[in-house]
Structure 1
Amino acid sequence: MNSSITTPPSPPQVLVFAASDPSSGAGVQADILTLASLGCHPLTAVTALTVQDTVGVQSVHPVSAELVEQQARTVLEDMPVAAFKIGVLGSVENVLAVAEIVSDYPETPLIFDPVLASGRGDELSGEEIISAIREMLLPQTTLLTPNAPEARRLAESDDDEGEPSIDVCAQRLIEMGAQYVLITGTHENTPEVVNTLYSTDGVIRRDRWERLPGSFHGSGCTLASAIAGCIAGGASVEDAVRDAQDYTWQTLKNGFRGGMGQFIPDRFFWARANDDDAEPAEPGDAAKAADA
C-alpha cells in the first residue's frame, strides 16, 4: 500500500531588519515575540547590538553592512518572505544595504518603523541616517509607522517657520514615496491616543484608544510587527492597521514591569488567563477602536 507524507503549509514568514535589545522589550526580540504570537514565522537580520534595559539605551554597536546583507540574502535565497519589517538600522551603510536588498523584492510589502530615539530620548538615528532613509527607503515603503516626533523629524523642512502639523508631515512623507503613513499619538499631550492612517487620498482612518498609565518599552516595535504579521497573513493595509492596533493595545493593557524602568508589552497576553477560572483570550479578542 502506498503511503504519502503530507507536509503542513508553512506559516507566513516575515523578515525583520532590526537591532537586538537584551531586555526583549523592543528591537528584534519584540518583533519575534509579536510575529510568533500572531502565527507568523519570523526571520531576522540583526542590524546592531545594543546595551540597554527597560530604563534606557547605554550604547549602540552597528553590525557591518556586509554581515547584514549576508544574513538577509542567505535566508531570502532559501525561504519565501511575505513581508519585510524594518526597525533600527544603526548606520548609513546599513540603510543603503537594506534598501538594495528590498529593491530586489518590489512586490513584497515593507513595513518601516523609523525608530529615531528610545522611549527615554536616547539618540538612535543621526541626521545622516535620516537623510539616507528619506532618499533610499521611503520610496520603497508600503507603510511607515512613525510616532508624532519621528514624523516631524523625518518631514522637517528648512522652510518651516514653526512645528508642522501632523497632516502636513504625513503629506510630505507620502510625497517622499511612502504609500501609507500611520502616525501614532503616543507622545502627544491628548486625553486619548489618536492614531491616523494616511494615503495619497488623505486620511483613511483615525482611531482613538484609551491612554494607559505608565510608559512602555517597545510599543512601536509591537505595532509595526503586528501590522507586518497581519499583512503577511493576507490582510489589506487598512484591515492590518485596525487589527494590529487592537492587538497592540491589549499587549499594553496587559503589560508588566519586568525591571526598574518602563513597562513591557505582553505579546502573549492571550495565552494567560486573568484568573484560575477564566478562559485564555484569543489574539483578536481586544477592544475595537472607534472610527472617527
Structure 2
Amino acid sequence: MNSTTPTPPCPPMVLVFSASDPSAGAGMQADILTLVSLGCHPLSALTALTVQDTVGVQSVQAVSAELLEQQARTVLEDMPVAAFKIGMLGSVENVIAVAEIISDYPEIPVIFDPVLASGRGDELSSEDVISAIREMLLPQTTLLTPNAPEARRLAENDEDEGEPSIDVCAQRLIEMGAQYVLITGTHENTPKVVNTLYGADGVIRRDQWERLPGSYHGSGCTLASAIAGCIAGGASMEDAVHDAQDYTWQALAAGFRAGMGQFIPDRFFWARGDDNEPGQNEEKDDGKTDGA
C-alpha cells in the first residue's frame, strides 16, 4: 500500500521591487536578507543596477521597464504573493510599470520605501520620478515608510511656507492616497529616534528608540522589508510596524563596519548569540492627539 508524504506548507512570499547593491548593505540584497531572516521567501524584480559601496553610490543604471515587468509577472503567475515591497525604482518608466503591475493585484498589501537619496546624499530619484510616484504609486500604497527628509520632499511643500512638520507631511501623503504613513526620525535632531505611524485619523502610534552611534547603510530597506515580512506572515499593520522596528533596532545595534564607510546592519543578529536589549520606550497614542 503506497503512502504519500504531505507537502510542507510554503513560507510567506514577498515580491520585492528594488535595485541591486553590490555591498549588500541596502537595496535588493538587504531586502532578501531581512525577509529570509524573518522566515519569508523573497521573490525579486530588479529595478536598477548600481555601483556602490558602504561609502556612497557611484552610478545607477535603470533596468528597462519591459524587463522589469517580465520579471514580476513571471513569478506572479507562478507563485502566491502575500505582500509587495517597493524600494528604489530608477526611472519614470519603471514607476509606471510597477504601478500597472500592482494595480492588477489590489488585494496584495504594498509596503513602499521611497528611496530618494543614499545615506551620503547621492541623488537617486529625479523630480520626474517623484512626480510619477505621487500620481501613480501613492494611491496604491498600503504603507509608505519615508524618513523625514523624504516625507518633506514627497509632500509637495510650498517654498513660501518654510519646513513643514512631519505631521503635516503625513497628512498630505495620506491625502495623496497612501493608507498609512510611517515617518522615521533618524534624520531629526532629537535625543531619541522617534518613529510615528499615521492613518486617516491621525497618529496611530509613536515609538522612541535609543539613538545609536554611527551611520548605517540600509536601515530604511531593513525596516520596510521587515514590515512587509511581518504583514505577509499575518500580522496587523500596527503589530507589524512595532515588531519590524524592534527587529531593525537590534540589527542596527549588532551592525558591523565591513568597509570604509557606513555600518551594515546584521540582519542575522539572532543567529550569532548576541543578546541585544531593545532600546525602545514605547508610547501608544490614545487617539486624542493630532501628533503635534
TM-score interval, smaller chain: over 0.9
Residue 222 of structure 1 and its aligned partner are, at CA, apart by 0.0
In the TM superposition, what whole-angstrom CA distance separates every residue of 1:162-213 from its partner, at most 9, and x where no partner exists? 0111000000000000000000000011110000000001000000000000
Query: Would you say the 8 A contact 2:14–2:83 is kept in 1?
Result: yes
Q: What is the letter of the counterpart of residue 95 of structure 1?
A: V
The match for 1:176 is 176
Q: Secondary structure at the match of 2:161?
A: coil
Report deviation, 1:5: 1.6
Residue of structure 1 in register with 2:287 after alignment:
none
Alignment gaps of 5+ in structure 1: 275-280
Does the 8 A contact of 1:170 with 1:198 survive in 2? Answer: yes
Indicate conservation of the 8 Å contact 1:116/1:123, yes or no: yes
Q: What is the alpha-carbon distance in structure 1 between the residues aligned to residue 213 and residue 29 of structure 2?
A: 24
Whole-angstrom distance in 2 between the partners of 1:266 and 1:141: 28
- Residue aligning to 2:207: 207
User: 2:160 and 2:139 mapped to 1: Cα distance?
Assistant: 23
Paired amino acid for 1:151: A
Matched residue type, 1:30 = A
Question: In structure 1, what is the equivalent of residue 41 of structure 2?
Answer: 41
User: Are residues 1:231 and 2:223 paired?
Assistant: no
Displacement of 1:288 after TM fit? Answer: 4.7
Aligned equivalent of 1:290: 282
Counterpart residue type for residue 187 of structure 1: H
More displaced 10-residue stretch of structure 1: 176-185 or 160-169: 160-169
| CA distance in 1 between partners of 2:61 and 2:190 (Å) | 35
Mapped pair 1:150 → 2:150: yes
Q: Which position in structure 2 is the counterpart of 1:100?
A: 100
User: Matched residues in 2 for 1:289 and 1:242: separation?
Assistant: 12
Alignment partner of 1:78: what SS? coil
Contact 1:28 1:46 in 2 (8 A): yes
C-alpha distance in 2 between matches for 1:161 and 1:9: 54
Could you tell me which runs of 5 or more consecutive residues in structure 2 were left unpaired when the two chains were aligned.
285-292
Q: Return the alpha-carbon distance in structure 1 between the equivalents of residues 204 and 158 of structure 2.
A: 28
Q: Please give the alpha-carbon distance, in whole angstroms, between the structure 2 residues aligned to 1:198 and 1:215.
A: 26
Shift of 1:2: 2.5
Over the aligned positions, Cα root-mean-square deviation in angstroms equals 1.2
Q: Secondary structure at the match of 2:106?
A: coil
Amino acid corresponding to residue 35 of structure 1 in structure 2: L
Measure, in 2, the Cα distance between the counterparts of 1:112 and 1:70: 20
The CA distance in 1 between the partners of 2:5 and 2:77, in whole Å, is 25
CA contact 2:210–2:279 (8 Å) conserved in 1: no
2:190, 2:206 → 1: CA distance? 14
Q: Structure 2: how far apart are the matches of 1:2 and 1:88? A: 51
CA contact (8 A) 1:242 1:289 kept: no
Query: Partner letter of residue 264 of structure 2?
Result: I
Aligned length: 284
TM-score (normalizing by structure 2) = 0.95
